[in-house]
Amino acid sequence: MRTPKKSSVPYSNDQYFHNTRRQWAARCMGMNPMRFPLLVILLSIGLLNTAQAETHENHFASVLVRGKKIGQVHFTTTHNDEGVLQELRTRSTYSILGVEVYHHTMDVHEFWKGGEIQTLRANADNDGERYQSSLRREPTDYVGKLNEKPIELPLEAFPVAVWHYGIVEHSLLFNLPDLKLFRVKVVKSQDSVTIGKQKIPAEKFTFSGDWKATIWFDHERRFLKWTYKVMGVKVTVLLDP
């Protein structure tokens, strides 16, 4: 008797799904009943871990002059398996007797990995001076543009990113958004910062040299406060409660 030839026509998608489902059902029916719930739990945990792979944080800080709020900073951080995306939005206007004497706006997008900045984009209007800058990390230096002009910076330079505790560990900084290099010295001391009604023990870092400022971090290395001067006026950036 001749053996019938196998059809050369492949299964349709419906047939394939049906057969696969039957095979899966048969395997499940043959399982130890105690193992099947365990499998479901493990699959659920795997899905949960995947969903939690990305986390998002929002931070707000007030810009103050002599205790009066003149602006707002919105800082967001997104963590995922690839690295950390940070976005900064700053808006401030300083007026005396109703007359604007200074304004500042800036939007910054940064991508970090392993504690090092990988790419940066910034747009700013610093009291009428406009800046558009970008950088990317290369094996030997940073390469980018400032107002469409090519620029290179040394890798040992760290951005003036006051939200990062790493800034206190570097003696060479570059400013945002004009990418100007600053050689600095840093002195650490113990202090406290009051936010709302809470007094928080803090580490105080005083920067001197080409860039003068003071930054406070809590003992978990989270930003609390930053002070600096603009046109001789002391400006304070304080984390909101």
pLDDT-based confidence at residue 73 (cuts at 50, 70, 90): very high
pLDDT-based confidence at residue 199 (cuts at 50, 70, 90): very high
Higher pLDDT among residues 104 and 207, named by residue = 207
Q: Mind listing the pLDDT tens digit for each residue in 152-184?
A: 999 999 999 999 999 999 999 999 999 999 999
In the chain, the N- to C-terminal Cα span, in Å, equals 87
Task: Find out whether 80 and 51 touch, Cβ atoms under 8 Å.
Answer: no
Q: Mind listing the pLDDT tens digit for each residue in 88-120?
A: 999 999 888 778 888 899 999 999 999 999 999
184 DSSP β-pair partners: 209
Half-sphere exposure of 215 (CA within 13 A, CB side): 19
**What count of other Cβ atoms lies within 10 Å of the Cβ of residue 162?**
24
**Per-residue pLDDT at 23 exceeds 90:** no
pLDDT-based confidence at residue 10 (cuts at 50, 70, 90): very low
Task: Find out whether 157 and 169 touch, Cβ atoms under 8 Å.
Answer: no
